[in-house]
Amino acid sequence: MKNKILKNYLITCGAAAVIMIAVTAVDAGNIGLAGNGLRVASDACFVSGMLIMILAVLALVANEGGFHPFGYLRKRLQYTFTGNKDCLMSYTDYVLSQKRKGKLNLTHMFVVGGGLVIASLLFALPSVI
């Protein structure tokens, strides 16, 4: 269990690092790094933190069943076009089958995303003062 939690945090931090590198490359190309290092770091942390937080909110909505109608529609279309009897079920059966799968733990996404947004505010603080 502990290894899975650590793995989730490392994967989220790795994704954030990739986003930060991409934003830094674009931002540094536009405004340059000379004298703007903290601004570039602030932008990179803010963009990556907000993207991770948005993905976490979407995953939370999916966990709570907000996208069940779309999944059921896909199953019905699959049955319509393929005739596969495994896809033929009522909406209630579909929702119950999805609930049996369990929910994802999204704490790591909110912690990493929130930490990056806070870090971006701290990087931006010297330019305000």
Q: Distance between CA 101 and CA 35 in Å, rounded? A: 51
Q: Report, as an integer, the average pLDDT of 55-60.
A: 94
pLDDT on residue 124: 86
Q: Pick the more confident residue, 18 or 33.
A: 18
Structure-token pair, residue 112: 């990493």
Q: Is it the case that residue 37 has pLDDT exceeding 80?
A: no
Average model confidence (pLDDT) for the chain?
A: 86
Do the beta carbons of residue 98 and residue 71 sit within 8 Å? yes
* Helix boundaries (H) for the chain: 2-31, 37-63, 68-82, 91-100, 107-128
> Residue 98, exposed/middle/buried by CB under 10 A (0-12, 13-18, 19+)?
middle
Q: Distance between CA 61 and CA 110 in Å, rounded? A: 14
Structure-token pair, residue 1: 């269990």
Dihedral, 36, 13, 19, 64 alpha carbons, nearest 10: -130
Q: Distance between CA 39 and CA 121 in Å, rounded? A: 10
Q: Any idea which of 7-11, 35-39, 58-62 has the lowest mean pLDDT?
A: 35-39
Do the beta carbons of residue 112 and residue 56 sit within 8 Å? no
Q: What is the pTM of this model?
A: 0.79
Q: Report, as an integer, the average pLDDT of 103-128.
A: 89
pLDDT on residue 32: 64
pLDDT on residue 58: 94
Domain count, the chain: 1
Do the beta carbons of residue 47 and residue 19 sit within 8 Å? yes
Q: Is it the case that residue 86 has pLDDT exceeding 80?
A: no
Q: Is it the case that residue 85 has pLDDT exceeding 90?
A: no
Range of the domain at 38: 2-128
Q: Is it the case that residue 61 has pLDDT exceeding 90?
A: yes
Q: Pick the more confident residue, 121 or 30.
A: 121
pLDDT on residue 13: 92
